[in-house]
Structure 1
Amino acid sequence: MRNKLFVLIVWLCASPLMLLAQKSAKVTSPDGKVIIEVTLTAGSPVYKVSYKKQAVINSSPLTLDFDSGAWGKNLKMSNVNYSKADGYYDLVVGKAKHIRNNYREAIIPFEETQKPFRKINLVARAYNDGVAFRYMFPKQAGWKNYTLYDEHTNFNLAGDPKALVLFLPSYTSSHEGPYTHEPYSKLKVDSLMDMPATFEYSNNIYLAITEAEVVDYAGMYLSKNSDGTMRGKLSPLPGQDKEKVKAVLPHETPWRVAIIGDRAGALIESNMLTNLNGDCKIEDTSWIKPGKATFPWWNGSVVPDTVFAPGNNFETNKYYIDFCARNNIQYHSVVEYGLHEWYVNDGPDFFPGPNADPSKAVSSLDMQKICDYAKSKGVGIRVWVHWKPLYPILEKAFAQYEKWGISGMMVDFMDRDDQEMIKIQEDILQTAAKHHLHIQFHGSSKPSGLHRMYPNEFTREGTRNYEVYKWDTTINASHDIAMPFTRMLAGATDYHLGGFRAVPQSKFKVRFRNPLVTSTRCHMMAMYVVLESYLGMVCDAPQAYEGQPGFDFLQTVPTNWDETRVPNAAINQYVTIARRNGNNWFIGAITDNQPRNHAVKLDFLGDGEYTADIYTDAADTDTNPNNLKKETKTVTRKDVLNLPVAANGGAVVKITKK
């Protein structure tokens, strides 16, 4: 792929007389609706954000705490460089293909007027769908490197919007848990909140706060202060609490991002995070092929009654490879059997022992034979790996995977996003690209748009998903509906999709093998469209799918998109998402535990007639949630589809041009 970004830069420098008294800089979005203004006060620089002349973030201070002392006071603002850019680039994997990058920008230089005379630039951008800013530390005399103790980036929200947030117990977390949905004023103080965090204002303004291009830096969280403001908190380097980032100049922070819109769906449609990342770093991307994948761990590595013994062996994997070949599933995942990994490990419960070696398969498993057979069937092979024994032998392991013919892998149990772990993840992506391997980060933090630079990153977890059905009762449709408005705003969201054994909530019980689910069949199908993920998991056992209503949709639904629209959305209640792949459109609608009717305008279609295959919840899904109704009709862009959605339900539509 060649990213093509045609940029028009216009530098507007203030006159020398103006610079002497310059105290503020204002950046307005191309459409004039979004404004970020930075003002230098005696205490620090402060910024504020407005949308359609309404305050969204009130004056919020920006200070930094280094090993060389605090930064924020005794500053002067020098020549502000204003610029604008408008161009396009293409994504290899994403929720859209051809993306416009249109913004206005200001580079605001600050310099201390007293020792140590440090120079730091604040870069502020305004897009039609939000604002972003970052700190840049230019190369300079007398300051070669730094240790950052704290980045005091504040967010002083205007008014009392309703918040949808995930509280976390610590910085070392798998980022899994229930979401809190209540007025901002009622949120508990001094507690870590994951990002993205979403806020709904009473005047139909929606705001999501997150970060973009997290590279060689610590991940950021939010925490509410006792005075009602909110601040960013960085994940500390391992083994202590004080030091957050260590760097050599020149250096820059990730972008601090506020996505803004007048519809909840506008947050989902936004491409700000990839806009804020750099161009693709992989020269040849022809080998990068998104698709769907089995993940037999979820169903308990179930096989039918056979003449072979199930386990870490060729025959068990052949059974799943044949299933993939029959049903347009691009990848089979070699995971484990009997709670033991496919690779050599002498540690307990998937954790690495002293002799763990993910470059060597267990004696019962001929990985070369498996890969050769899968290739003959047009199926790719993926593997699961714990990051800790993998990272020290990254080159050795990935070279072996490439030799076998493995296509990619799930890297698990990272559970951190300090600067060290962020660097480890980038090393994994870079080395994987060298050996033509795609990556699925599991047990990890949120994405930040890096799939523009490293399109071999197919998806990340960073949320509680359907694996929880195997051991708890806390996952359900009401949890799912939080995803599009929070975690998914950061990018591809890894879920163990495809549970086809639905039961009413009253009949649910935890099962490790052949696990049950509590949302309707149509809800489960719709999640393939609602979620952004370039590796759609097909996690149930083959016999749960073949011959079952709705499996034909799973066979055809893509995982990579050319365009995304959100016709209907209400935060934490319901959402309808329409995604285009080539000439075909796929619509997914889900709701919480309340039944609804989704009226979907088809004005996003082109001219002419289309065939719509429509799958909706059947009338008896309260007792038989696997039941569905399918109908086919001719539609045009003037039509409105009425999709009845049951409690805990969903609907899907495949639309093809006649």
Structure 2
Amino acid sequence: MKILKSFLVVLISFLVACNSASENKTEVVSPDGNIQINFELSAEGVPTYSVSHKKNQVVKPSQLGFEFENLPSFHNGFKILNVTPSSFNEEWQMPWGEQLLVKNNYNQLKIELQETSELNRKLNIVFRVFDDGIGFRYEFPEQENLKEVLVSEENTEFNLTGDHKVWWIPGDWDIYEHLYNTTKFSEIDALKLSGHKNLAQTSIPNNAVNTPVTMKTESGLHLSFHEASLIDYSGMTLQVELEGFKMKSVLVGSKNHDYKVKQTIPFNTPWRTIQIEEEAKDLIASKLILNLNEPNKLGDVSWFKPMKYTGIWWEMHLGKSSWDYGMEDVNGKWKDTGKAHGKHGATTENTKRFIDFSAKNNIGGVLVEGWNTGWEHWIGFEDREGVFDFVTPYPDYDLQEVVRYGKEKGVDIIMHHETSAATQTYEKQQDTAYALMQSLGIHAVKTGYVGKIIPKGEFHHGQYMVNQYNNAVIKAAKYQVAINAHEPIKATGLRRTYPNTISREGLRGQEFNAWSSDGGNPPEHLPIVAFTRMLAGPIDYTPGIFNIKFNEYKKDNQVNTTIAQQLALYVVIYSPVQMAADLVEHYEGNPALQFIKDVGVDWQQTEVLNGEIGDYVTIARKERASENWFVGGITDENSRDLEIDFSFLDEGVTYTANIYEDGKKAHYNTNPTNLNIRTIEINKHSKEKLHLVEGGGFAISLIKK
């Protein structure tokens, strides 16, 4: 019956499309019939589209087109040459991820346009409609009268139906490390956030928002706008027109030329996406962004193992140690002049301490930052080309020895490459650096791009840097290296195509709690992130801070969560690499460590149990290897009671449930480490009430008996 229904929907779409093309109108609906796109050419030949959900308009008629530096614009004067409807339905397997199998089912409409002017230039627009939203992109087909385009702007509009509630960060061309704002659409003011004192740099030229940007309509419908498959193109921000409730694409540009994208015909743009859900929790469950990317191009990537890791990192943010060694540059060579300051964190001895701890606690890796020469001279210098060497360690760090020791203990070393945004230096050393990793059996690297991009005039999110990030991933794959990028371009689902793209930062992370002067990340931050940034892809948020006040290092800073919430983040904020970020001495002897030892990182199934944006969220995940389940729930600055229904569990199986919950006197500010641990038996028919304090949460391990 389902097959027949799907066939009828496709047939109806096909007939409507073909019969309407001569009238300059056509439409396509989702497989379940709930979402509909209407396409129309105006009397002047302007392409427009609108979107409806259950017959209610979600996006009012909105224009599509381009402005070029070297050619007349693509704005009007089009006619429809051909309309091709199609349907697609598959189930594909993730090599690692939130679930094992992904359903990919959509109806497609390809509209081929041609100008009525003597230029006769052609443009295709392809719409895909899923049960959970839509994607559309522009295709520039091969043609006689168009060989190269210099895109000055992409005029893609999203004409909203009202003054929606919006969770947004500014359309910054350089960073995503802003706190989310919660306002009405008409109250968005991105320009006031430019030059934020806690950020390395900001570049906010328009009253625009970055994507994913998530909204809730007055009727309770949830929308999230983003893009998928960002390749050889500029990142898209969305300029806000307050009075008309309209957003319009603004591509990230460059100071070095007037155009924003340079492309040779033929090419396709990234997909412009809108996720549409009645319940907020279903935004997290959606795989629309992934499904709009091409299948795996790398084949077997079993050499990458999802893992938990510790590392020499948090201690630098606390000020306990430093990235730099204190060497001096003597005639172009780094030498120990006897002036080492003694606070260097990346020593052989310190790394072995982390390896020993990881080996004892079911943690598979150790990240080491500050191991390589160059840290003395990278920050604050305008010209950072040539500063970092990605193969030469400091004298107190024996790379070969720590790798050998790690292998002996069953713990992998995770490499670190801070490029300081000096792209040409990194390009020149990539082959050598990745080959070194391959020779040592190191399969993961955390990259960083702190600072203004070199060459000067480029931005982190423009076409130049999009290609830098993507090309690094492609090259790394040749050496069986997976990349966790910090200061990155946004995630757009390319982990499906290149599954060595394992995680990335791309948000205001945990480290802001250690040194920002604005009070750190507020309790509402992560309940917003789960419904915004996390919709784009995995997040390396570095959870697991147990010493939440860290008064011995930073008296005026703290993490604004309870310890129970820190445990919950291993389930709620997804990444295939999850850090136990605190210092070793803060874990030892703490019973809460048991959850980090037990929790998985690679999942067979994910169930989002509840959630409201900015308030709370609860997620359950089933581990691939063990089939044990883990549940995490977090709340904002408000305490709340939640009842968890365990009907997602396997039938006929009893689980030992270890529950890590906020203690009765817990509070994220006054008593953040107050934790209660209890053990009960749970099965599919169980329900359990849990109390989450302000800034609190809970974590549950469900171990099959």
CA gap 1:74/1:326 in 2 versus in 1, 3 angstroms = same
* C-alpha displacement of 1:18: 4.7
In structure 2, the residue matched to 1:69 is: 72
* Distance of aligned partners of 1:513 and 1:391 in 2 relative to their CA distance in 1, 3 Å threshold: farther
* Secondary structure class of the residue paired with 2:82: coil
Deviation string 1:3-33 (CA, Å, 9 cap, x unpaired) is: xxxx999798669995772412211111111
1:320-399 aligned within 5 A: 320-336=354-370, 341-344=371-374, 347-349=377-379, 352=384, 354-387=386-419, 388=422, 389-399=425-435
Q: Distance in 1 between matches of 2:574 and 2:343?
A: 37
Structure 1 residue 117, shift from structure 2 partner: 1.4
Contact 1:469 1:510 in 2 (8 A): no
Identity of aligned residues (%): 32
SS in 2 for 1:361: coil
1:554 to 2:584 alignment: no
Kindly tell me: are residues 116 and 323 of structure 1, through their superposed partners in 2, closer, same or farther at Cα, counting changes over 3 Å? same
| Shift of residue 364, structure 1, vs aligned partner | 2.9
Aligned length: 637
- Within 5 A, what are the aligned runs for 1:526-565? 526-565=568-607
Q: Is the 8 A contact 1:19 1:78 kept in 2?
A: no
**Which residue of 653, 658, 664 maps to 1:613?**
658
User: Which residue, out of 440, 443, 452, partners 1:404?
Assistant: 440
| SS of corresponding position for 1:85 | strand
The alignment partner of 2:470 has SS state of helix
Shift of 1:256: 0.4
Shift of 1:250: 1.3
CA contact 1:330–1:380 (8 Å) conserved in 2: yes
Map residues 230-309 of structure 1 onto 2, 5 A cutoff. 230-237=247-254, 239-240=256-257, 242-300=258-316
Corresponding position of 2:469: 425
Give the letter aligned to residue 412 of structure 1: G
Distance 1:620 1:196, change over 3 A: same
Whole-angstrom distance in 2 between the partners of 1:605 and 1:288: 29
- Measure the CA separation in 2 of the matches of 1:631 and 1:15: 60
CA contact (8 A) 1:471 1:511 kept: no
The correspondence of residues 481-496 of structure 1 with structure 2, limited to 5 A, is 481-496=527-542
Q: Which moved more, 1:628-637 or 1:456-465?
A: 628-637
SS of 1:71's equivalent in the other structure is coil
SS of the equivalent of 2:67 reads strand
Compare 181-190 and 276-285 and name the one that shifted more. Answer: 181-190
* Secondary structure of the corresponding residue to residue 469 of structure 1: helix
1:266-308 deviation line (CA, Å, top 9, x unaligned)? 10000011111111111221201111122322123869xxxx9
Distance 1:196 1:16 in 2: 31
Deviations for 1:462-483, whole angstroms, at most 9, x for unmatched residues?
A: 1101101221223132212210
Unaligned runs of 5+ in 2: 1-5, 191-205, 322-341, 451-458
Please report how far the alpha carbon of residue 179 of structure 1 lies from its aligned counterpart in structure 2 after TM superposition.
1.1
Q: Select 1:576's aligned residue among 608, 618, 627.
A: 618
- Residue identity in the other structure for 1:348: W
User: Could you say what secondary structure the match of 2:435 adopts?
Assistant: helix
> CA separation in 2, counterparts of 1:55 and 1:557?
43
1:501-540 maps to which residues of 2 (within 5 A)?
501-503=547-549, 511=553, 516-540=558-582
For 1:51, the aligned partner's letter is H
The 3 A distance-change label for structure 1 pair 276 and 127 is same
- Contact map agreement 1:27 1:126 (CA 8 A) in 2: yes
CA distance in 2, matches of 1:271, 1:20: 31
The 1:617/1:19 distance shift into structure 2, 3 A limit, reads closer
Bigger shift: 57-66 or 411-420?
411-420
How far apart in 2 are the matches of 1:374 and 1:323? 11
Comparing 377-386 with 146-155, greater Cα deviation is found at 377-386
Matched residue, 2:526? 480
Whether the 8 Å contact between 2:251 and 2:260 is mirrored in structure 1 is yes
SS in 1 for 2:136: strand
Which amino acid is the alignment partner of residue 232 of structure 1? Answer: S
Structure 1 residue 353, shift from structure 2 partner: 5.4
Q: Which residue of 1 aligns with 2:453?
A: none
Residues 616 and 651 in structure 1, CA contact (< 8 A), matched pair in contact too: yes
Q: Which residue of 1 aligns with 2:85?
A: 82
Shift of 1:235: 0.8
- Alpha-carbon distance in structure 2 between the residues aligned to 1:644 and 1:263: 23
The offset of 1:377, in angstroms, is 1.1
> For residue 225 of structure 1, what is the aligned residue in structure 2?
241
The structural deviation recorded for 1:499 is 0.9
* TM-score, L = length of structure 1: 0.92
CA deviation digits over 1:602-626, x for unaligned, max 9?
Answer: 1211212222211110011134211
Residue 641 of structure 1 is aligned with which of 684, 688, 691?
688
Query: Residues 350 and 386 of structure 1 are in contact (CA less than 8 Å); yes or no, is this contact kept in structure 2?
Result: no
CA distance in 1, matches of 2:88, 2:494: 21
Q: Which residue of 2 aligns with 1:651?
A: 698
| 1:589 equivalent in structure 2 | 633
- Alignment pair present for 1:436 and 2:480: yes
Counterpart in the other structure of 2:336: none
Question: More deviation in 125-134 or 185-194?
Answer: 185-194
Instruction: Give the residue type in structure 2 aligned to 1:475.
Output: N
Q: SS at the partner of 1:539?
A: coil
Give the distance between the partners of 2:611 and 2:478, measured in 1 at CA: 40
Residues 345 and 353, structure 1, Cα contact 8 Å, conserved in 2 = no
- Corresponding residue for residue 329 of structure 2: none
Any conservation in 1 of the 2:465–2:489 contact (CA below 8 Å)? Answer: no
The residue that corresponds to 2:496 in the other structure is: 452
Q: What's the CA shift string for 1:75-129, capped at 9, x where partnerless? A: 0012210000111111112222200100000001111010321111100011000
Q: Give distance in 2, aligned partners of 1:16 and 1:84.
A: 13
The aligned residue for residue 33 of structure 1 is 34
Give the C-alpha shift of residue 311 in structure 1.
Answer: 4.3
Cα distance change, pair 238–553 in 1 and its aligned pair in 2 (3 A)? farther
| 3-state SS of 1:452 partner | coil
State the 1:398 CA deviation.
Answer: 0.8
* Structure 1 residue 223: Cα displacement: 1.4
Q: 1:581-622 deviations in whole A, cap 9, x for unaligned?
A: 132211111000000011121121121222221111001113
- Is the 2:17–2:28 contact (alpha carbons within 8 Å) kept by the matching residues of 1? no
Answer yes or no: is the 8 Å Cα contact 2:133–2:275 preserved in 1: yes
* Residue 178 of structure 2 corresponds to residue 161 of structure 1: no
What is the rounded CA distance, in whole Å, between the counterparts of 1:494 and 1:15 in structure 2?
46
Whole-Å separation in 1 of the counterparts to 2:22 and 2:515: 63
Secondary structure in 2 aligned to 1:536? strand
Structure 1 distance, partners of 2:75, 2:269, is 16
Please tell me the residue identity of whatever aligns with 1:63.
Answer: G
Distance 2:21 2:403 in 1: 68
Question: For the Cα contact (< 8 Å) 1:382–1:406, is it kept in 2?
Answer: yes
Question: How far apart are the structure 1 equivalents of 2:151 and 2:689?
Answer: 54
C-alpha contact (below 8 Å) 2:166/2:184 kept by paired residues: yes
| Alpha-carbon distance in structure 1 between the residues aligned to 2:373 and 2:438 | 16
CA distance in 1, matches of 2:300, 2:637: 46
Q: Is the 8 A contact 2:320 2:553 kept in 1?
A: no
Cα distance change on mapping 1:395 and 1:261 into 2, 3 Å: same
CA distance in 2, matches of 1:52, 1:654: 39
Q: Which residue of 2 aligns with 1:184?
A: 185
Residues 367, 404 of structure 1: 8 Å contact kept: no
Secondary structure in 1 matching 2:303 = coil
Q: Distance in 1 between matches of 2:655 and 2:228?
A: 38
Name the aligned partner's letter for residue 569 of structure 1.
G
Q: With structure 2 as the length reference, what TM-score do the two structures score?
A: 0.86
